[in-house]
């Protein structure tokens, strides 16, 4: 598909360049030709004047100049033809190269999109397969008890919840990655954002016996309140998820920054460059007891930071913990 598009684009580049080049060549030829005709008639008049005034040998004939002019015309046509041929070859090669450069980022985007769709379908298929299998097995069992049926329904509900989570992640990703023209930006205090995010995470933190310590100072920035709350919630959610039971996490706001610090499992140096990629999960988090997650939280966080013209960075050591900082 992209090879065909590259060739088409090259042909378009060539058509534009050759139209310009041939038009200029035409104008140059007409101008030079006019000059030659003027020179020819000027010389003819001069020679005729000489003939009229003085006796001139017959060999000095005006037709000799006409031959020279015709030859010059032919040469000009040849030179212009050669120039146009060189332009055709050079712009063909250059155009093919430029078309490649133009299409490369689009190809990269399409490849990423394809990878994303295939990852999303894969993540959806896993709970769907498990749901189908469980239901089919239960339907085949003629002596199923009420207790077993309830257990099955509870397990089904878990799978449905997982799919629900995934679809809400996908919707968020789509929302925050698309154009920002519909989103309202105003002055917000990161302290309020942190408090809102904490409200959402406190039940989860309590269930995991993780304490949230707040060190909040006024930090006014220009941004979108709803998306920034989502960003702080994602960071807090991860901090709780990847902390040891009974651990502490801190949320800080100061200057134009928001920081979430945990003392949990940490992230290895090899994983750090990839954690903001969609569907990326470090092996350490997969093998951890709490494996729920799709590797989408931080890519949503990154999209939100971009949307709000903020930067997000991480500082982490395996076994020591991680610090995520959002700076405006
Ligand atoms: P999820 O947490 O659902 O797997 P994220 O996109 O939020 O997805 O995070 C991607 C990966 O980055 C996680 O799987 C985990 O390996 C790592 N990670 C993120 N936050 C932390 C953290 N606070 N401590 C340790 N690892 C983390």
Looking at the fold, whether 202 and 140 belong to one and the same domain comes out as no
| pLDDT score for 223 | 95
| pLDDT score for 199 | 96
Cα(300) to centroid(ligand 1), Å: 12
Count: domains in the chain: 3
Looking at the fold, whether 12 and 98 belong to one and the same domain comes out as yes
- CA 178 to CA 171: how far, in whole Å? 11
| pLDDT score for 20 | 96
Query: Is the four-CA dihedral 98, 100, 104, 107 of positive or negative sign?
Result: positive
169 lines ligand 1 (CB under 6 A): no
Looking at the fold, whether 68 and 157 belong to one and the same domain comes out as no
Looking at the fold, whether 201 and 297 belong to one and the same domain comes out as yes
> Taking the CB of residue 230, how many other CB atoms lie within 10 A of it?
23
Cα(272) to centroid(ligand 1), Å: 10
Q: Which value, to the nearest 10 degrees, does the dihedral of the CA atoms of residues 104, 105, 106, 108 take? A: 90
Looking at the fold, whether 197 and 144 belong to one and the same domain comes out as no
Looking at the fold, whether 170 and 195 belong to one and the same domain comes out as no
- CA 59 to CA 3: how far, in whole Å? 65
| pLDDT score for 47 | 73
Cα(198) to centroid(ligand 1), Å: 18
Convert the pLDDT of each residue in 92-135 to its tens digit.
999 999 999 999 999 999 998 898 899 889 888 888 998 999 99
Tell which atom from ligand 1 comes closest to the C-alpha of 299. Answer: 6
Looking at the fold, whether 154 and 223 belong to one and the same domain comes out as no
| pLDDT score for 285 | 65
Residue with the nearest Cα to atom 13 of ligand 1?
281
264's enclosing H/E stretch is none
Given a cut of 70, the residues of the chain with pLDDT beneath it are 51-65, 179, 284-291
Contact in structure between 169 and 278 (CB atoms under 8 Å): no
Looking at the fold, whether 79 and 125 belong to one and the same domain comes out as no
Domain of residue 46, residue span: 2-112
267 lines ligand 1 (CB under 6 A): yes
275 lines ligand 1 (CB under 6 A): yes
| pLDDT score for 216 | 97
| pLDDT score for 65 | 67
Tell which atom from ligand 1 comes closest to the C-alpha of 295. Answer: 8
Looking at the fold, whether 202 and 256 belong to one and the same domain comes out as yes
| pLDDT score for 162 | 87
**Total-model pTM:** 0.74
């Amino acid at each position: 598909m992209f090879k065909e598009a590259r060739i088409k684009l090259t042909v378009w580049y060539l058509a534009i360049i050759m139209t310009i080049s041939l038009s200029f060549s035409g104008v140059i030829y007409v101008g030079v030709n006019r000059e030659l005709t003027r020179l020819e008639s000027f010389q003819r008049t001069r020679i005729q004047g000489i003939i009229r005034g003085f006796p001139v040998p017959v060999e000095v004939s005006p037709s000799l100049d006409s031959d020279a002019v015709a030859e010059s015309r032919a040469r000009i046509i040849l030179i212009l033809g050669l120039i146009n041929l060189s332009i055709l070859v050079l712009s063909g090669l250059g155009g093919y190269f430029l078309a490649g450069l133009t299409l490369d980022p689009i190809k990269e985007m399409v490849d990423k999109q394809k990878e994303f769709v295939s990852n999303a379908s894969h993540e959806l298929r896993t709970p769907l397969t498990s749901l189908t299998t469980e239901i089919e097995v239960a339907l085949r069992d003629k002596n199923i008890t009420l207790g077993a049926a309830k257990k099955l329904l509870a397990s089904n509900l878990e799978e449905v919840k997982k799919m629900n989570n995934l679809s809400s992640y996908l919707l968020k990703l789509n929302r925050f990655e698309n154009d920002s023209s519909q989103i309202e930006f105003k002055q917000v205090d990161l302290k309020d954002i942190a408090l809102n995010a904490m409200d959402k995470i406190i039940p989860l933190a309590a269930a995991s016996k993780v304490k949230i310590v707040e060190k909040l100072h006024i930090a006014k920035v220009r941004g979108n309140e709803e998306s920034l709350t989502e960003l702080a919630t994602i960071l807090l959610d991860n901090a709780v998820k990847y902390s040891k039971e009974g651990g502490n996490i801190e949320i800080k706001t100061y200057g134009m920054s928001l920081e979430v610090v945990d003392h949990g499992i940490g992230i290895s140096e090899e994983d750090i460059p990839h954690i903001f990629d969609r569907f990326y999960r470090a092996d350490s988090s997969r093998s951890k007891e709490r494996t729920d997650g799709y590797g989408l939280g931080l890519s949503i966080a990154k999209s939100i930071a971009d949307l709000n013209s903020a930067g997000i960075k991480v500082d982490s050591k395996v076994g020591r913990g991680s610090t995520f900082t959002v700076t405006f």
